[in-house]
Chains A and B, each alone.
Chain A
Amino acid sequence: MTGSSDYGDIESFASIINGRLAAEARVSKGVAFGWMCGGWAIAACLFGIGMAAALYGYSFVISSRPAAEQIASAIRDAFARAELKTDVTGKVSLAPGSELTLAPNQIVKLNEGAVVRLDPNSSVRVIGDLKVDVPQPSKQQLQLDATSVGKELPVTQYTVFKTVIFGGGYVVTGWNFELPDTAHPVYQRCYYEQNVDQGLAATQTIAVDGSPRPVSSLAKLPFDFDGALANCTWFSG
């Protein structure tokens, strides 16, 4: 082996090595470039996802419709769960001619001491028992067990007299009550009474149970019949 040929071998060997190193360097460069591209791609994807999420969230902020729906939903849920307690006060008016019907077993009660005012032109129809505070004589005054000398038990009645001074005499209305029903008189008589002499009086029937009893036109009355009739006091309950 000669020296020049040795240098030639070394040079070729070195160039081979350099070539191989250069090739490996290019391969490594390519691999690195590939990794870098992958990294950029992943970064770009993550950035895109982040941006999409941010934009989606921001859309809820700038859009009024979902917010209104949420508020409405929240209010609806709140009302659904809420328990309302109210006191209703005021005045209830019914239209003329209207009627109220109670539900079965429903009862209307008035507070103790409450006063019900009715329109003067209205009428009230009561079905059932109606107790009216009509004054009546006491048991001591009635003496229902009192008898005659012959021990006969009498029939007891009483008459309430309403007297009005009229002309030279009186217009007297007698309300005749029978026991035990003392809520209404069984018979009412209105008459004119005038003292004729001491212990002596004359009477003339004017009306019975609200119906006038006119006298014959041939009879001359000492008083104004129509005027006396207007002074009769009839039982009104």
Chain B
Amino acid sequence: MPSISVPQNSTPRTKGIVPTLTNFTIFKSVPFEKGVVQTGWKFLTGAQRSPTTQYCYYQEAGDNPDVSVRIDIGLDEKIQQSKSISKSFDIAAAFSKCVWFRKGAP
């Protein structure tokens, strides 16, 4: 049975206090060729002023939506060269699409 009651000793909730966000990643997506270049800024808490780590990858969806190709192209603002990447893939052009966190920004 629904009931409404006002506790006698209830402590008023402080205005403006929101639960802290933890373990989240902000993604910046820029289209590139048939897919998209995604840069992830990984934060451990909502109070951090800059990300713990940043990574950038190229992702292209396949015919099956549950399957996609992912190529890592950058980590913490540095390009990741890999021998397993096809030479037809322009990793430098893809790396230029990465969006890195500006630490001095307000």
Q: A136-B21, A146-B105 are in contact. Are A115 and B26 (CB under 8 A)?
A: no
Query: Within 8 Å of chain A (Cβ to Cβ): is B30?
Result: yes
Query: Within 8 Å of chain A (Cβ to Cβ): is B62?
Result: no
Per the CB 8 Å criterion, the residue count for chain A at the interface is: 44
Shortest Cβ gap from B74 to chain A (Å)? 11
Task: Label chain B's interface by main secondary structure.
Answer: loop
Contact B19 A154 (CB under 8 A): no
Contact B26 A94 (CB under 8 A): no
Contact B19 A161 (CB under 8 A): no
Q: A114-B10, A152-B97 are in contact. Are A141 and B28 (CB under 8 A)?
A: no
Shortest Cβ gap from B102 to chain A (Å)? 6
Contacts of A142 in B (CB 8 A): 26
Q: Which of B13, B29, B96 contacts A149 (CB 8 A)?
A: B96
Per the CB 8 Å criterion, the residue count for chain B at the interface is: 42
Q: A146-B101, A158-B25, A205-B66 are in contact. Are A119 and B46 (CB under 8 A)?
A: no
Contacts of A159 in B (CB 8 A): 24-25, 27
Contact B2 A122 (CB under 8 A): yes
The CA-CA distance from A146 to B98 in the complex, in Å, is 11
Contacts of A154 in B (CB 8 A): 28-30, 39, 99
Give the number of A-B contacts (CB < 8 Å): 114
Shortest Cβ gap from A148 to chain B (Å)? 5
Which chain A residues numbered 108 to 144 have a C-beta less than 8 Å away from chain B?
Answer: 111-119, 122, 133-138, 140-143
Closest Cβ neighbor of B7 among chain A residues: A115
Shortest Cβ gap from A134 to chain B (Å)? 8
The CA-CA distance from A108 to B73 in the complex, in Å, is 57
Query: Within 8 Å of chain B (Cβ to Cβ): is A150?
Result: yes
Contact B3 A143 (CB under 8 A): no
Query: Within 8 Å of chain B (Cβ to Cβ): is A96?
Result: yes
Q: A117-B5, A143-B105 are in contact. Are A148 and B30 (CB under 8 A)?
A: yes
Q: A113-B13, A143-B101, A152-B97 are in contact. Are A158 and B24 (CB under 8 A)?
A: yes
Contact B105 A115 (CB under 8 A): no
Contacts of A91 in B (CB 8 A): 3, 5
Contacts of A205 in B (CB 8 A): 66
Q: A148-B96, A152-B97 are in contact. Are A158 and B3 (CB under 8 A)?
A: no
The CA-CA distance from A118 to B6 in the complex, in Å, is 11
Residues of B bordering A, CB below 8 Å = 1-7, 10-13, 18-30, 37, 39, 41, 43, 46, 48-49, 51, 66, 96-102, 105-106
12 A-B interface contacts by CB (under 8 A): A113-B13, A115-B6, A133-B19, A135-B20, A146-B28, A154-B39, A157-B26, A158-B26, A160-B22, A161-B23, A163-B23, A205-B66
Residues of A bordering B, CB below 8 Å = 91-96, 111-119, 122, 133-138, 140-143, 146-150, 152, 154-163, 205, 213
